[in-house]
Structure 1
Amino acid sequence: MKWPEPKWALAVRLMAIALFATVGAAIFLSSRQQPGVLRRRSAETKHAPLSAHVLSVSEHIRHLQVQGGRPLFLLTAARDEVYDDGHHELSDVSVTLYAADASERARITARRAVYYQTSGLVIFATDVRAWTREGLRFRTEELRYDQATEVLHTERPVTFEHASGWGESQGIEVHLPRDRRNRVVLHAVRFAVAPNASGPSELWSVRAAAATFESVTLTFRLAGDVVLAREVDELRADRLDGVLDREHRIRQITAGGNVRLRSRAEHTAVEIASESLTLSFTERQDVSRAIARGSVVARFRDRAEEQELRGPRLDVILASSHGALVPHFARAEGGRVSLMIRDGSRDRRVVERQVEADRLEAFFRTGTRALQRLRASGNVRVEIPPTPSAKTAERTTIWAQEAELMFDGEEDRVTTGRASGDVRVEVEPMEASAARSRRMTMSATLFIEFDPKTHGIARLLQSGKFRYMEGDRRAESERAIYEADSGWIRLRGGAPTVWDARGRTRAEEVDVNPREERSVARGRVVTTVLPREAMARTLPFAERDAPIFIAADRLEVDHRARRARYTGAVRAWQQDTYLAAEELELDEADRTLLARGRVRSFLFRAPRAEGALTEAVPIFVSAARLIYREAERKIVYEGEVSLQRGAQRLLAESLTAFVRPDAAEIERALAERKVVLTDPERRAYAERATYDAAGERIVLEGSPARLEDDRQGVRQQGARLTFLDRGDTVLVEGSEGARRVKTVRTIPRGKQ
């Protein structure tokens, strides 16, 4: 119902409307050129005194402002008081703003409102409610609207809601241009994001110092101590930019500055820290993917195990399980990246295994944070520390171009691993008292088995041109197997060979134990002992500048005790001298040699007679056992000894030969027990025989010593028989000790 209005009042109103439109247009253009005019203008009019002179009062007014045939706004109020300074005071007011297509773009209602006609400013007060076409609804106690800038603004507390959430803030700015590029700015904001697809437990709560929303681009920005949280998930950052879908659900956000993402549940957690972090969301508003950049540190914890990823860039595919984030796949790249795996079970200390590479890819067991597979590429480095329960403390470092580790997700432990491309394994003893040095092995590929109890290395299999280095010790083969429990490295294929400064050994199979400093070779064993080395002096060969060769079926070496044992068809030789037996033991420390079992040797010659034209006569000796002591240059043969020198043969139970230190020639010898000396058609028997190479004299002693000469038909005996002149003269002596000659006979050779 309207009250009668005088004609002069109607004229004044028409003039006011025209003036309002003109001034409004001018202020609009000015505000586009001078940002911030709204705040300045508000400050100017905030405390401006109102005139007490009322020009007119109207009730139940309804005014539709039209321009170019299109509506601009619709004003309704229960009462309108017009004052002589041009402002209006309205009650129970409602203002509807229209877009260029005549659709509603916003509506504001309030118990009271003041409209400054000259500036185009409307101040709504008391139970102010506003609505925008994007579905934003908010309430406050004061709200200002500037027609020129088309901005709604207040610094009072605001509560707001949307189909996708609700919240509160300290102030709001709503930019309502007619081109639909609406923008909302909130301060000290707290709100919850709850799209229709989500249940109460899936709400995201947001807190920030400031928030901005763009309606056309469906983007928003949060700044200042930003916190985004849901149940056990929380994201913190200095700023955050996001994109919404058409249902106003979060599609993607990018956080920057001191970014921290955490998702924690019982005994499990996901944490990511970086300079920036981009998160993608599902329709249910679950985080599906995280891309972190800049000094990234990511931790995935599952029961007793934790993985820590570091690098310039990290891409993680995530899923939600029981309300918490769980990783499905993670890729770190963009430079040098690393993964630290910490194992802290109840019955063990924390054990850390580290993987470094140019690129890391981690695959997790579905629905858990437990690693299932880890793939590394580009200058890979895997470090495996000693485990507390291991027999020896060794730190193992593996280098390769590609590597892969497999995990048992249920047991939270690594099971197997593979590596390829210039594989190098370095093992460093950790004991302070360890005398062993660092060892290194190289190959084309590597397979690793881990111990299910200790989580340490149980077995290594290296294939493709395997090489081993430790100190001056080297080895090579086609492949090798390392057994951590026993410490053995087993070389197979490609004629396994080991060597050091003293010599070289080749065999069909070679086993090396650096921990116990032992080695074993089997099958066609051939050792080359270099001249002038300690082991060369242990062998009874004379040449100091020629190598010595030893062949056998098997070789066992104790490097710590400096002992070697050859078994099975053993044969040692240097040039034309040799020693053969079933077993040969060398003690380098004591410089002794022991040969057993069918010993056969040609180690020395009888010296050539002075002025003789013939070569020195070789001496061949066989026995059951041989002992050589380098310090004494003494060779002892024991058990069924047989010595052959040309046509002359000596049998005894024991023979001790002393050889010259500079030549393979015998100086003297002693035969004992059951001595038999034979040459064609002549035999001598004694209990003891001595040989003097310088005098070419053989002395036989016994009880009695006897001689049988078939050529002369003579049988002679005495306490001592002495063969002179290379055996052509025999001196027979009695037992009185006066050297009384019982028989002296010259036996020319060749006569009957």
Structure 2
Amino acid sequence: MFRVRLLSAGKLLAAALFLLILGSLVAYLSIRGKRQDDAASSPKLQGRVVAVFNNSRYAHEVEGRVRFAITAGVDRTYEDGSHELEQVRLESYGANGSRNDVVTADRAKVSNPSDLNRLDAEFLSNVVVQIADSLTIKTSYLHYDHLKGLIETEELVEFEGPALGGRSTGVVVETIDERVRLLKDVDVTIKHSSEKGEAAQAKPATGRGRERARGETKEEKAARKARKRALKKEGRARQKAPKSKPGNLAARKPTRIQSSEALLEKKEGRVTFTGGVTVTQTPNSMRSERMTGFLGQSDRIERIEARGSSHLKQGESAEIKAVDMDFFFDEDNNLARALATGGAYTRSLGPEPPREASARTIEAFFITGPQGNTVDRIKADGDAAVKVNAPPPANEKD
């Protein structure tokens, strides 16, 4: 029925990468900034402007490799040591030069970088984070507080990639505890395998001509070639990967998750959606007030706990209702078993005659077929009652 693969908090919003980007920005500003003992705790841009740099560029090398390059159309340094940047662009190539992660923003305000423990940075207007070929994050504002270990915004955040896409109003990334909170109006779509492939093929190649046009150094040229080799290797691996069986229609359909808010906890291997949660993979759906997914190895979903007004509907075949429900998945992420507890009720929705059952607990077992997962058998336990309605007379008119 459902074929779900959820990503960890680190992968979803790329918090680790964002920290690397901020570290790169700090290194850049430390070179241009004036060291002061009385560092500001936030980028207030106090005092007069003491230096202005136009079209500035800084490339940071480690052992002969360019790790990142930062450009700014305008870089203003204030008396308090804080910086105001315009037309900000940061490119991060990774430790081995095989990545190409980019962050752009119209403006950035950064506190005095001489005290890294109190670093405070704001990215404003048209903030775009491009994580290689895997994820693009867009928002109008991002704030980073190193002392608190927080990356946050109250603005709309949209993310799109080959594996998933979605949006949320407001995000808080707790870097120390490795948690991500999606604050409001969460809407996430997990894409099926063929859709991922189409998105990857439709994505334009990185602009080789653009990189050369900006006058790359020998180190940047080597990094670009390394990225190109890595992309070719990834493409060959993708071609060799086993394709989804064409008969399994459910595996080719995206899974959409909507809720009021969500919490992703990387250390605990857990993701929780709360507030009117719906999970839809047409024509199937799950609903509950709260759903918690538990991740196993390789971020594979192992089980989902649904709590409060839980409901499972399998197209026009059957539905199960209960206070609470637990869903268990096999190694291929297919729904294998569902356990409903607390006033459990089920009924058929298919051909006549209609069948109903109620019990303290109802357990449904699923099998995988050409149409995805379907109910194989249902077990009712505890004050069980089964009702089979008589079929309508053959001559009865609709």
* TM-score (normalised: structure 2): 0.63
What is the match of residue 160 of structure 1? 159
Unaligned runs of 5+ in 2: 1-28, 194-243
Q: Which has the higher strand share?
A: 1
- CA shift digits 1:729-749 (9 cap, x unpaired): xxxxxxxxxxxxxxxxxxxxx
Summarize the Cα distance change of 1:294–1:219 in structure 2 as closer, same or farther, 3 Å threshold: same
1:225 equivalent in alignment to 2:276: yes
1:343 equivalent in alignment to 2:339: no
Q: Quick check: 2:192–2:252 contact (8 Å CA) kept in 1?
A: no
Summarize the Cα distance change of 1:11–1:99 in structure 2 as closer, same or farther, 3 Å threshold: closer
Q: Quick check: 1:122–1:146 contact (8 Å CA) kept in 2?
A: yes
Unaligned runs of 5+ in 1: 1-8, 28-40, 350-752
What is the match of residue 292 of structure 1? 340
1:210 equivalent in alignment to 2:269: no
- Equivalent residue runs for 1:146-545 within 5 Å: 146-177=145-176, 182-186=178-182, 187-196=184-193, 201-246=252-297, 248-265=299-316, 269-282=317-330, 285-320=333-368, 323=371, 326-333=374-381, 336-347=382-393
Summarize the Cα distance change of 1:303–1:173 in structure 2 as closer, same or farther, 3 Å threshold: same
Summarize the Cα distance change of 1:172–1:166 in structure 2 as closer, same or farther, 3 Å threshold: same
- CA shift digits 1:516-543 (9 cap, x unpaired): xxxxxxxxxxxxxxxxxxxxxxxxxxxx
In structure 2, distance between residues paired with 1:132 and 1:225 = 31
In structure 2, distance between residues paired with 1:146 and 1:324 = 46
In structure 1, distance between residues paired with 2:372 and 2:30 = 67
In structure 1, distance between residues paired with 2:139 and 2:109 = 16
What is the match of residue 671 of structure 1? none
Deviation at 1:167, TM superposition (A): 0.7
SS in 2 for 1:90: strand
- Equivalent residue runs for 1:699-718 within 5 Å: none
Deviation at 1:256, TM superposition (A): 0.6
In structure 1, distance between residues paired with 2:302 and 2:370 = 21
Summarize the Cα distance change of 1:125–1:89 in structure 2 as closer, same or farther, 3 Å threshold: same
What is the match of residue 112 of structure 2? 117
SS in 2 for 1:337: coil
Summarize the Cα distance change of 1:133–1:121 in structure 2 as closer, same or farther, 3 Å threshold: farther
Structure 1 counterpart of 2:385, one-letter code? L
- CA shift digits 1:207-252 (9 cap, x unpaired): 0011122334442110111111111111111111013455555432
- Equivalent residue runs for 1:82-101 within 5 Å: 82-94=77-89
Summarize the Cα distance change of 1:10–1:64 in structure 2 as closer, same or farther, 3 Å threshold: closer
Structure 1 counterpart of 2:367, one-letter code? A
What is the match of residue 138 of structure 1? 137
* TM-score (normalised: structure 1): 0.36
In structure 2, distance between residues paired with 1:204 and 1:107 = 28
In structure 1, distance between residues paired with 2:146 and 2:90 = 12
Summarize the Cα distance change of 1:219–1:94 in structure 2 as closer, same or farther, 3 Å threshold: farther
Structure 1 counterpart of 2:33, one-letter code? R
Summarize the Cα distance change of 1:195–1:202 in structure 2 as closer, same or farther, 3 Å threshold: closer
Deviation at 1:272, TM superposition (A): 1.4
Deviation at 1:154, TM superposition (A): 1.1
Deviation at 1:190, TM superposition (A): 0.6
Deviation at 1:127, TM superposition (A): 2.2
Summarize the Cα distance change of 1:331–1:176 in structure 2 as closer, same or farther, 3 Å threshold: same
Structure 1 counterpart of 2:35, one-letter code? M
Structure possessing the higher relative contact order (Cα contacts under 8 Å, 6 or more residues apart): 2
SS in 1 for 2:186: strand
State which structure, 1 or 2, has the greater radius of gyration over its C-alpha atoms: 1
Summarize the Cα distance change of 1:55–1:323 in structure 2 as closer, same or farther, 3 Å threshold: farther
Summarize the Cα distance change of 1:115–1:184 in structure 2 as closer, same or farther, 3 Å threshold: same
Q: Quick check: 1:262–1:270 contact (8 Å CA) kept in 2?
A: yes
Deviation at 1:133, TM superposition (A): 9.8
Deviation at 1:158, TM superposition (A): 1.3
Q: Quick check: 2:310–2:323 contact (8 Å CA) kept in 1?
A: yes
In structure 2, distance between residues paired with 1:240 and 1:321 = 26
Aligned length: 304
Deviation at 1:168, TM superposition (A): 1.1
Deviation at 1:283, TM superposition (A): 5.9
SS in 2 for 1:172: strand
SS in 2 for 1:257: strand
Summarize the Cα distance change of 1:19–1:308 in structure 2 as closer, same or farther, 3 Å threshold: farther
Structure 2 counterpart of 1:164, one-letter code? A
Structure 1 counterpart of 2:56, one-letter code? H
Aligned residues with identical type, % of pairs: 22
In structure 1, distance between residues paired with 2:52 and 2:278 = 51
What is the match of residue 70 of structure 2? 76
SS in 2 for 1:305: coil
SS in 2 for 1:15: coil
Q: Quick check: 2:282–2:315 contact (8 Å CA) kept in 1?
A: no
Q: What is the RMSD of the two structures over their aligned residues, measured on CA atoms? A: 4.2
1:53 equivalent in alignment to 2:48: yes
What is the match of residue 18 of structure 2? none
SS in 2 for 1:86: coil
Structure 2 counterpart of 1:300, one-letter code? S
Structure 1 counterpart of 2:387, one-letter code? I
What is the match of residue 15 of structure 1? 35
Summarize the Cα distance change of 1:10–1:307 in structure 2 as closer, same or farther, 3 Å threshold: closer
Summarize the Cα distance change of 1:283–1:136 in structure 2 as closer, same or farther, 3 Å threshold: farther
Q: Quick check: 1:233–1:324 contact (8 Å CA) kept in 2?
A: no
In structure 2, distance between residues paired with 1:238 and 1:161 = 26
